[in-house]
Copies of this chain bind each other. A is one copy, B any other.
């Protein structure tokens, strides 16, 4: 574990000055081809590795992006994080990822830590915080940051916000269920008063209202367990419900299990629609109709917007809604 070679070592071996080595590193057009070759040979010989910390000190972009995720274990966010990370990697950026587990304290700590590490910018899917202090430290550090999927700071002129067009998804799903002739449609899942819940519910409520129908919503943790419980409860207490639009596929998959347990045939006795279209939706039985949110593409686009901001200084638009799409399968439409 001897000292790692530096540009000075490379320079000595290549018989040039360290400035020249640095120029090679910078891909400067100034340096002659033979010189470059000699330097590169020396690097290979010595096993030289670039020291970004040193470069950073001189004010160069370190090539590090901070990715702060409220719940990395949720497949939806995992997909987002993985897609964004890989898009960054393709452009030569490494990604510091942290799971805040929905705790504001964790979020504050990891953001502070990432600033210390000199990240060039942030993509943050934030935890809901009471105070508006959440992202203030980022602004003070003068770092570009985008809020994705959840907006906790209303200053979108400072922290541009990008998400999927959930409201449109809610509309599409509800219109679909109406078109099948169902009238008594419930909305299940999603924590009350969360922006995401409000958006997903809004499209549903709007379409129901336009059709002159009453809404019926039960909110709660968007988990499989909640879905299962609600399926059993709806079956027992509200057998009149003909269709359910779920806050998320996790809830819908839980309801699928709960209905199976209760002997209710999904797609026939009751129509079920999920939200997100995670991989499993197509593999469940019956297959789950769902609002597809192409989160992989969303992740790549968010990464691209961030890099454009860092690289060319073009700040992303304040609010960006990525389109969604309804994927119809057997859980809502019977034997399709």
The chain A residues found within 8 Å of chain B, CB to CB, are 1-2, 4, 47, 49-54, 56-57, 62-64, 72-73, 75, 78-79, 81-82, 85-86, 89, 92, 94-99, 101, 106, 109-110, 112-118, 140-142, 224-225, 228, 253-254, 256-258, 260-261, 279-280, 283-285
Report B-chain residues with C-beta under 8 Å of the C-beta of A106.
86, 89
- Among the interface residues A49, A97, A279, which one has the most CB atoms of the partner chain B within 10 A? A97
**Copies of this protein in the complex:** 2
- Among the interface residues A63, A94, A116, which one has the most CB atoms of the partner chain B within 10 A? A94
Per the bound structure, the CA–CA distance linking A82 and B71 in Å amounts to: 9
Per the bound structure, the CA–CA distance linking A112 and B52 in Å amounts to: 12
Contacting pair B51 A116 (CB below 8 A): yes
Contacting pair A95 B94 (CB below 8 A): no
Per the bound structure, the CA–CA distance linking A166 and B99 in Å amounts to: 28
Per the bound structure, the CA–CA distance linking A283 and B64 in Å amounts to: 39
Contacting pair B89 A82 (CB below 8 A): no
Report B-chain residues with C-beta under 8 Å of the C-beta of A62.
53, 117
- Chain B nearest CB from A90 CB (Å) reads 9
- Chain B nearest CB from A323 CB (Å) reads 22
Report B-chain residues with C-beta under 8 Å of the C-beta of A99.
82, 85-86
Contacting pair A86 B73 (CB below 8 A): no
- Chain B nearest CB from A240 CB (Å) reads 24
Contacting pair A117 B52 (CB below 8 A): yes
> Which listed residue, B64, B86, B92, B116, touches A101 by the CB 8 Å rule?
B86
- Among the interface residues A1, A98, A283, which one has the most CB atoms of the partner chain B within 10 A? A283
Per the bound structure, the CA–CA distance linking A142 and B98 in Å amounts to: 26
Report B-chain residues with C-beta under 8 Å of the C-beta of A97.
85, 95-97
| 13 extra A-B contacts, CB within 8 A, seeds A49-B141, A51-B118, A86-B99 | A47-B141, A51-B57, A52-B53, A53-B53, A62-B117, A63-B113, A64-B96, A89-B98, A89-B110, A95-B97, A96-B97, A97-B97, A225-B283
Closest to A280 in B: B224
- Among the interface residues A72, A114, A258, A261, which one has the most CB atoms of the partner chain B within 10 A? A72
Provide 16 A-B residue pairs closer than 8 Å at the C-beta atoms, listed in order of the A residue: A1-B142, A47-B141, A51-B116, A52-B117, A52-B118, A53-B117, A62-B117, A64-B117, A72-B85, A75-B75, A82-B99, A92-B113, A94-B98, A95-B97, A96-B96, A253-B280
Contacting pair B94 A96 (CB below 8 A): yes
Per the bound structure, the CA–CA distance linking A224 and B79 in Å amounts to: 17
Per the bound structure, the CA–CA distance linking A29 and B280 in Å amounts to: 56
Report B-chain residues with C-beta under 8 Å of the C-beta of A56.
53
